[in-house]
A = this chain, B = another copy of it.
Amino acid sequence: MSMTNVSDEVFAALADPVRREILVRLSRGGPQTTGALTSRMGMTRQGASRHLATLESCGLITSRRHGRVILRELNPAPLRGTEAWIQSLANQWDERLERLKRQYE
């Protein structure tokens, strides 16, 4: 597995605190409308809506339309890639330390 360009968009999406809060709310409250998600978040509807578009673009959320309401739903699948990347990074470092340790014993 290549260690570069693995879920580049996902990393960028996670960089914004507002988007992370949206993900947390979705994971706790389940599918919600933009309004329910936006309220008490100190931002215009359009501001939050753009964040939702960013999150959907990289696959972190999906949306289903019910009449005039659109329900946003969390999709944690892309997070596995970033999680794997981070773990691989830390693991390679640990393996390196272990090699050095064996060498000097």
Contact surface of A with B, Cβ cutoff 8 Å? 3-5, 8, 11-12, 14-15, 17, 20-21, 23-24, 26-28, 30, 74, 76, 79-80, 82-83, 85-87, 89-90, 92-94, 96
Contact = CB atoms under 8 A, between A and B. Distances in A.
Looking at chain A's contact residues, the main secondary structure is helix
A3 B24 CA distance: 7
A27 B79 contact: no
Contacts of A5: 17
Number of copies of this kind of chain in the complex: 2
A56 B49 CA distance: 34
Given A79-B89, A83-B83, A83-B86, A4 B27 contact: no
A20 to B, nearest CB: 7
Contacts of A90: 27, 76, 79-80, 83
Most buried by B among A28, A87, A92, A93: A93
Contacts of A3: 20-21, 24
